[in-house]
Amino acid sequence: MGRSSGGRPTGAPDPDEAPARSPTLAELGWREDFAGQVTAAERAFVPARVAGVWRRSISVLFSGGETELHLGGRWFQGAASERPAIGDWVLLEPDRNAVVRILDRTSLLHRRAAGRGHTLQPMAANVDVLFVVTSCNEEFNVARLERYLALALAAGVQPVLVLTKSDTASDPADFARAASGLLQDVPVELVDARDPATLDAVRAWCGVGRTVALFGSSGVGKSTLVNSLAGSDEQRTGAARAADAKGRHTTTHRSLHLLPDGGLLVDSPGMRELTLADVDAGLAVLFNDVIELAAQCRFRDCRHEAEPGCAVQAAISSGALDSRRLASFGKLRSRS
């Protein structure tokens, strides 16, 4: 996909064209959390929702339209987390030519950027629900799902596990049981994105003004799911490789879609690896069983290996705890 001189990918919506629909602020997710931050002196500014982010420009949706804005140098003097991210609410100058400031976020999904540093890369802001999308085939990976669950829980976002391609599995219920066992009461939706009847439960999470993000690996059917929920070909789709069920990247940048029946959808490129950062709070919820057992160990600094009086190893020996859970907890905690 090419880019225009302003940084917008070729084929992205032209800000000079009239939008297909004119959303209200409520449809864009505006609520008291954000309205209460606008001071009396800022009433003349225009609230807008960030729908696209490129190297030095963003596209925004506001009540009645959309536009693209160049980001000036001041936005690149601080950390990446201090710049507008997909889903952010910003205040624009009355002429809608510049961003004044970013409103405080209700949530922020982020990961550690590639490289040796510890820079945080924002992925989506002000998200209410995270659809963790995987498929009922060789791509299904419990450890990967745990990383996404930890990400959502740390951000205070409701996770929902969406299992696609159920029509390709001999017993899709096996995948659903494995997914539901990762976190108590986590919603699991088993769908065939090409069959509208299986999407009713997924659509129920996409209420008017609610922001839902879709994360997952390439080839799990995220773009097909976006198209089904949006009722149009919002994203290109591609076939998975037959050899290993892994797919090709069809979404090339994060984008915010306004759904026809209410709600907003953040789609993201497939991620082969999700490097977590600052998710201790999420791990505490996701691995609450391991943490509660660890508190019962004889020694406070127990490593849960061969120490006497280790409640964790005792639970593993009795079958009350899966050893994989302990290994996964240790691995994620060391990397977060």
123-267 folds as: Rossmann fold (3.40.50)
Buried b (16+ CB within 10 A) or exposed e, 196-219: eebbeebbebbeebbbbbbbbbbb
Cα(327)–Cα(329) distance, rounded to whole angstroms?
5
Contact at 8 Å (CB) between 121 and 277? no
Q: Hey, which residues does 58 pair with through a beta bridge? A: 53, 69
Closest CA to 220 of 313, 102, 141: 141
CATH for 287-335, among 3.40.630.30, 2.40.170.20, 3.30.70.660, 1.10.40.50?
A: 1.10.40.50
CB neighbours (10 Å) of residue 7?
17
CB neighbours (10 Å) of residue 186?
19
Cα(330)–Cα(269) distance, rounded to whole angstroms?
28
List per-block mean pLDDT (blocks of 10 residues) for the chain, which spans 336 residues.
44 46 88 97 97 94 93 92 96 96 96 68 94 91 93 95 89 94 94 81 93 88 83 50 36 76 82 72 93 95 93 96 93 80
Q: What 3-state DSSP class applies to 53?
A: strand
Cα(274)–Cα(123) distance, rounded to whole angstroms?
11
CB neighbours (10 Å) of residue 231?
11
**pLDDT score recorded for residue 319:** 95
Cβ within 8 Å of residue 63, ≥6 positions away? 22, 23, 24, 25, 28, 47
Q: Where in the chain is the domain with CATH 3.40.50.300?
A: 123-267
**pLDDT score recorded for residue 245:** 37
Q: Where in the chain is the domain with CATH 1.10.40.50?
A: 287-335
Q: What 3-state DSSP class applies to 211?
A: strand
Q: Domain 1-104: give its CATH superfamily.
A: Nucleic acid-binding proteins (2.40.50.140)
The size of the chain, in residues, is 336
The predicted model scores a pTM of 0.82
Q: Tell me the Ramachandran region of residue 325: left when phi exceeds 0, alpha when psi lies from -120 to 50, beta otherwise.
A: alpha
